[in-house]
Amino acid sequence: MKFHSLMPVIWTKNLEESIGFYTHILGFSLVDANIEAHWAFLMKNKVQIMLTLPNEHGNVSNICFSGSFYFNIDDVDELWKDLNTITKICYKIETFEWGMREFAIFDNNGYILQFGQAVDEISKEE
């Protein structure tokens, strides 16, 4: 048995606001949406996410997630420059001992979005 991909389904209380955050702030494209069904599909490069309002299957009273979404990207410093003044920062850009340069922000729902690039990839670019 093979696993082919993982696509997070991000629950939100405001679908239109979340679509706006991911398209206008992070540059995702809105591929498909069904506003009546409270659902949207977005994509940027090879990264795919879905946004939805919670439904009866989740049985939740609060939107929550006990983790973070980690994006492996190229040019983490450039993205930091683009986002650090227009988003709520979780932690500033830093190079970590495990060989990653990364930072984290909060999306409009309060979810943590981490962005990282391997340090050895950065040194190859210079």
User: Three-state DSSP class for 122?
Assistant: helix
Average pLDDT over residues 63-90: 93
CA distances to 5, 19, 25, 70, 99 from 109, in Å? 24, 11, 14, 16, 29
Q: What is the pLDDT averaged over residues 109-121?
A: 95
The answer to pTM > 0.85 is: yes
Residue written as tokens 């932690």? Answer: 91
Give residue 56's pLDDT: 66
What the chain holds in terms of domains, given with CATH numbers, is 7-55 (3.10.180.10), 67-126 (3.10.180.10)
> What Cα–Cα distance (Å) separates residue 51 from each residue in 8, 81, 90, 99, 124?
8, 26, 21, 32, 36
Q: For 31-74, how does the pLDDT look when each residue is reduced to its tens digit (9 = 90+)?
A: 999 989 999 999 999 999 999 998 766 556 665 678 999 999 99
pLDDT over 70 (residue 29):
yes
